[in-house]
Amino acid sequence: MENREHKFARLMVDYSAEVKPGERVAITSTTAALPFLKELYTIVLERDAYPHILLEIPDQDELLLAHASDELLDFVPIFHKMAFEEFDVLLKVRAETNTRVFSHVDLQRLARRQKMIASLIAAQFQRGATGELRWMSTIYPTQAYAMEAEMGFEEYKDFFFGACHTDDKTDDPIAYWQKIKKDQQVYIERMQGHDLVEIRGPNVDLKLSIKGRTFLNACGQTNLPDGEIFTGPVESSVNGWVRFTYPAVSNGFLVEGIELTFSEGKVVQATAKGNQDLLQRLLEYDPGARYLGEFAIGTNYEINRFTRSILLDEKIGGSFHVALGRGYPETGSQNISAIHWDMICDIREDSEMLVDHELAYKNGKFIL
- At 225-280, the pLDDT tens digits run 999 999 999 999 999 999 999 999 887 788 999 999 999 999 999 999 988 998 99
> The domain spanning residue 91 has which CATH number?
3.40.1830.10
Considering the chain, what percentage of its residues have pLDDT values greater than 70?
99
Q: Which of 107, 132, 164 is the last residue of a domain?
A: 164
Is residue 327 within 8 Å of 339, Cβ to Cβ?
no
**Residue 223 and residue 277 in one domain:** yes
Let me know whether 51 and 191 are in one domain. Answer: no
The pLDDT, as a whole number, for residue 36 is 95
Residue 311 lies in a domain: yes
Q: Which residues pair with 298 in a beta bridge?
A: 228
pLDDT digits (tens, 9 = 90+) for 37-71: 999 999 999 999 999 999 999 889 999 999 999 99
pLDDT the model gives residue 2 = 62
Widest Cα–Cα separation across the chain = 57
Report yes or no on 116 lying in a domain.
Answer: yes
Please return the burial class of 182, using the count of CB atoms within 10 Å of its CB with bins 0-12, 13-18 and 19+. exposed
Phi/psi for 286 (5° steps) reads -160, 170
Band of the pLDDT at 115, cuts 50, 70, 90?
Answer: confident
Give the range of the structural domain holding residue 45, as residue numbers without chain letter.
Answer: 4-164
% residues pLDDT > 90 (the chain): 89
Is 321 part of a structural domain of the chain?
A: yes
The model's confidence at residue 12, banded by pLDDT at 50, 70 and 90, is very high
Q: Are 187 and 308 contained in the same domain?
A: yes
What is the DSSP secondary-structure string of 194-208?
Answer: --EEEEEETTEEEEE
Whether residue 292 is found in the same domain as residue 253: yes
Residue spans of beta strands (DSSP E) within the chain: 24-30, 50-56, 89-94, 134-139, 196-201, 204-209, 216-218, 223-224, 228-231, 239-243, 248-250, 253-255, 259-263, 266-271, 292-298, 319-325, 340-346, 352-355, 358-362, 365-366
Q: Does 191 lie in the same domain as 90?
A: no
- β-bridge pairing 89-94 and 134-139: parallel
* Same domain, yes or no: 144 and 181: no
**8 within some domain:** yes
Q: What is the pLDDT of residues 71-98, one digit of tens each?
A: 999 999 999 999 999 999 999 999 999 9
Same domain, 123 and 260: no
How confident is the model at residue 1, as a pLDDT? 42
Q: Are residues 21 and 150 in the same domain?
A: yes
Least confident of 66-75, 129-138, 250-259, 300-309: 250-259
Q: Are residues 143 and 201 in the same domain?
A: no
DSSP string, 155-211: HHHHHHHHHHT-STT-S-HHHHHHHHHHHHHHHHHHHTT--EEEEEETTEEEEEE-T
Domain's final residue, options 164, 183, 203: 164
pLDDT of residue 197: 98
Average pLDDT for 202-219: 98
Tell me whether residue 214 is in a domain.
Answer: yes
CB atoms near residue 331 (< 10 Å): 21
Model pLDDT for residues 333-353, shown as the tens digit of each residue = 999 998 999 999 999 999 999
269 and 305 in a single domain? The answer is yes
C-alpha of 367 from chain center: 26
Same domain, residue pair 145 and 242: no
Quote the number of domains for the chain.
2
Sequence letter at residue 301: Y
**How far is the C-alpha of 292 from the C-alpha of 235, rounded, in Å?**
6
**151, 264: one domain:** no
Mean pLDDT score of the chain: 95
In a domain, 43, yes or no: yes
90 part of a folded domain: yes
Point out the domain boundary residue: 164, 187, 206: 164
In whole angstroms, how far apart are CA 149 and each of 141, 308, 360?
11, 6, 32
Q: How far is CA 322 from CA 65, 130, 141, 160, in A?
A: 30, 23, 26, 23
Tell me if 91 sits within 8 A of 55, measured CB to CB. no
> Do the domain assignments include residue 169?
no
DSSP-derived 3-state class of residue 342: strand
Question: Which pTM was predicted?
Answer: 0.91
